[in-house]
């Protein structure tokens, strides 16, 4: 049974959870995720693993409490048992010696990119991290990124800390300075990843985006995580979550991700995909 080892608020509504899960910690590779069901009545939440500690048998997750189930997860105290924890799921990130890799994390997406940044650093790459937040209060993992980055650029939308502007402005500046960039990894809001892909396409820099579609089972069976990549259907839960950012149809991803936003906030909300799965099970 997975239990909460620690639960720390690291920014408004953002929590870092350390969870005892020895088997997952042992098998986890950078880029993979878990599906968490905090309580028996909660929805399943897909969350990319920020870090694994094999010795302690724990994994770290960074969670923004936005919907009912993420609030339930973030409300669990130290020692509490988690109803279900499934993983590690998805394909690990491609880790190789690329040269200079720019890691771009937007908001909680920074936590998603952290494990990949750490693995790429260990593989001998030069890591330039751009981590963006709305304002100073929302800056996360600065210390952790400073330990694994050759260069760390923090941006805030209002200029209250670090560079003023979006992460995309900081990326453009690097190109304007004539920096040689061999690869870009992006994780964060979909409009941010779309813009990153547009910028890096101009410079022909291979770019990977960590996609965050709606997911239910996390293994591609329900079809919720369907994304269009190069005009073909892929399932982010099994083929991803990472994908070639230059081929992703971000507009379609945006439409699918906002389809249930309003009802997700409601107490009486029942996930339609969950209901559909149950219906299918009853029919069989």
Binding site for ligand NAD (CB under 6 A): 48, 64, 106-109, 112, 132-134, 155, 157, 166-168, 187-189, 191-192, 195, 210, 212, 241
Four-residue CA torsion sign, 146, 152, 156, 159: positive
* Structure tokens given for 23: 């088997």
**Least distance between ligand NAD and beta carbon 215 (Å):** 11
Please identify, using beta-carbon distances, which residue of 57 and 271 lies nearer to ligand NAD: 271
Inter-helix orientation angle 190-202/167-176, to 10°: 10
Please identify, using beta-carbon distances, which residue of 7 and 110 lies nearer to ligand NAD: 110
Helix/strand/coil for 46: strand
Please identify, using beta-carbon distances, which residue of 45 and 85 lies nearer to ligand NAD: 45
**Least distance between ligand NAD and beta carbon 76 (Å):** 19
Q: What angle do CA 184, 186, 191 make, to 5 degrees?
A: 125
* Structure tokens given for 215: 């997911």
Distant-in-sequence contacts of 24-28, Cβ < 8 A, 24+ apart: 24/49, 24/52, 24/59, 24/85, 24/87, 24/88, 25/52, 25/53, 25/54, 25/56, 25/57, 25/58, 25/59, 26/54, 26/57, 27/88, 28/52, 28/59, 28/87, 28/88
**Least distance between ligand NAD and beta carbon 53 (Å):** 21
> How many of the other CB atoms lie within 10 Å of CB of 77?
8
Please identify, using beta-carbon distances, which residue of 57 and 256 lies nearer to ligand NAD: 256
By the 10 Å C-beta count (0-12 exposed, 13-18 middle, 19+ buried), 281 is classed as: exposed
Please identify, using beta-carbon distances, which residue of 22 and 264 lies nearer to ligand NAD: 264
**Least distance between ligand NAD and beta carbon 203 (Å):** 17
Please identify, using beta-carbon distances, which residue of 125 and 212 lies nearer to ligand NAD: 212
Is residue 32 a contact partner of residue 48, using CB atoms and an 8 Å limit?
yes
Please identify, using beta-carbon distances, which residue of 31 and 58 lies nearer to ligand NAD: 31
**Least distance between ligand NAD and beta carbon 79 (Å):** 26
**Least distance between ligand NAD and beta carbon 226 (Å):** 16
**Least distance between ligand NAD and beta carbon 131 (Å):** 9
| Closest residue to ligand NAD: CB criterion | 107
């Amino acid at each position: 049974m997975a239990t909460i080892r620690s639960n720390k608020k690291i920014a408004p509504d953002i929590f870092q959870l350390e969870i005892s899960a020895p088997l997952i910690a042992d098998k986890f590779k950078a880029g993979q995720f878990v599906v968490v069901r905090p309580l028996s009545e909660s929805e399943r939440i897909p969350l990319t693993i920020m870090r694994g500690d094999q010795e302690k048998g724990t994994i770290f997750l960074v969670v923004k409490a936005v919907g009912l189930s993420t609030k339930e997860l973030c409300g669990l105290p130290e020692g509490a048992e988690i109803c279900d924890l499934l993983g590690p799921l998805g394909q690990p990130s491609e880790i190789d010696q690329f040269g200079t890799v720019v890691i771009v994390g937007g908001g909680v997406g920074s936590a998603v990119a952290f494990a990949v940044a750490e693995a790429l650093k260990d593989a001998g790459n030069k890591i330039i991290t751009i981590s963006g937040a709305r304002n100073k209060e929302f800056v996360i993992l600065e210390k952790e990124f400073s330990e694994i980055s050759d260069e760390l650029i923090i941006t805030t939308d209002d200029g209250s800390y670090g560079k003023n502007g979006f992460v995309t402005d900081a990326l453009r500046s690097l190109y304007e300075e004539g920096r040689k960039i061999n690869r870009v990894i992006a994780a964060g809001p979909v409009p941010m990843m779309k813009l990153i892909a547009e910028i890096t396409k101009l410079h022909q820099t291979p770019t990977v985006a960590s996609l965050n579609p709606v997911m239910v089972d996390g293994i591609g069976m329900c079809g919720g995580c369907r994304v269009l990549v190069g005009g073909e259907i892929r399932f982010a839960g099994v083929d991803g979550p990472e994908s070639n950012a230059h081929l992703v149809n971000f507009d379609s991803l945006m439409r699918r991700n906002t389809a249930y936003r309003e009802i997700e906030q409601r107490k009486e909300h029942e996930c339609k995909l969950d209901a559909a799965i149950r219906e299918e099970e009853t029919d069989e």
